[in-house]
């Protein structure tokens, strides 16, 4: 409906469309407290917080995913290092050993994930980082999981899996090593 005055036009359009309602996913307080307890137990056993390197490898631009994953890990109690964009496997392995991380979490483009996982595992061995765990995220077909696990990937993140359950699975893998 056309109304001549600017304020009236605005009010008419506001009536016609539904205002945006932000939906927030709040983590249950009890789950967060249990997670904090597990992190503190890790600190008591190892003398420091779990440290993770979040890296993006390959030509695809994963800037937003890398930042959001790094922020999520930092909020849940990890010490987080973030590598530069489009990192090579050799550069990520060098950065991981220099920063003495427990885990390297990398995001990869779908077409090169197998190649990059193998190269990163070999680079970590060459840099004396056999004890550093590999966690992989991105769009990974289920048919490639077995190959990636054999290549040295300890945990594969499903798309959109940044939740408390992910932290618990990661802590389980860290405790088993």
Nearest to 103 by CA among 119, 116, 92: 92
Question: Which pLDDT score is estimated for 75?
Answer: 86
Question: Is pLDDT larger for residue 122 or for residue 160?
Answer: 122
Give the CA distances from residue 49 to residues 2, 11, 28, 164, in Å, rounded to whole numbers and listed in that order. Answer: 61, 53, 22, 17
Q: Is 156 helix (H, G, I), strand (E, B) or coil?
A: strand
The string of pLDDT tens digits covering residues 92-133 is 999 999 999 999 998 876 677 888 889 999 999 999 988 999
Q: What is the pLDDT confidence band of residue 59, given thresholds at 50, 70 and 90? A: low
Pure H helices in 3-144: 6-16, 29-46, 63-75, 89-98, 113-126
> What pTM value is reported for the model?
0.76
- Give the chain's mean pLDDT: 79
* CATH, domain 49-176, list 3.40.50.280, 3.40.50.620, 3.40.30.10, 2.40.160.40: 3.40.50.280
Question: Which pLDDT score is estimated for 19?
Answer: 53
């Amino acid at each position: 409906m056309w109304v001549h005055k600017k304020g009236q036009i605005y009010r008419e359009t506001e009536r016609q469309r539904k205002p945006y309602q932000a939906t927030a996913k709040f983590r249950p307080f009890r789950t967060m407290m249990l997670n904090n307890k597990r992190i503190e137990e890790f600190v008591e056993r190892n003398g420091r917080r779990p440290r993770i390197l979040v890296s993006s490898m390959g030509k695809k631009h994963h800037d937003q995913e890398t930042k959001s994953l790094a922020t999520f890990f930092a909020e849940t109690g990890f010490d987080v290092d973030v590598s530069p964009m489009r990192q090579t496997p050799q550069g990520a392995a060098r950065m991981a050993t220099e920063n003495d991380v427990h885990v390297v979490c990398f995001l990869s483009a779908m077409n090169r994930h197998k190649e990059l996982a193998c190269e990163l595992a070999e680079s970590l061995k060459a840099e004396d980082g056999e004890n550093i765990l590999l966690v992989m995220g991105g769009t990974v077909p289920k048919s490639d999981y077995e190959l990636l696990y054999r290549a040295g990937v300890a945990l594969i993140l499903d798309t959109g899996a940044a939740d408390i359950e992910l932290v618990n699975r990661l802590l389980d893998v860290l405790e088993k090593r």
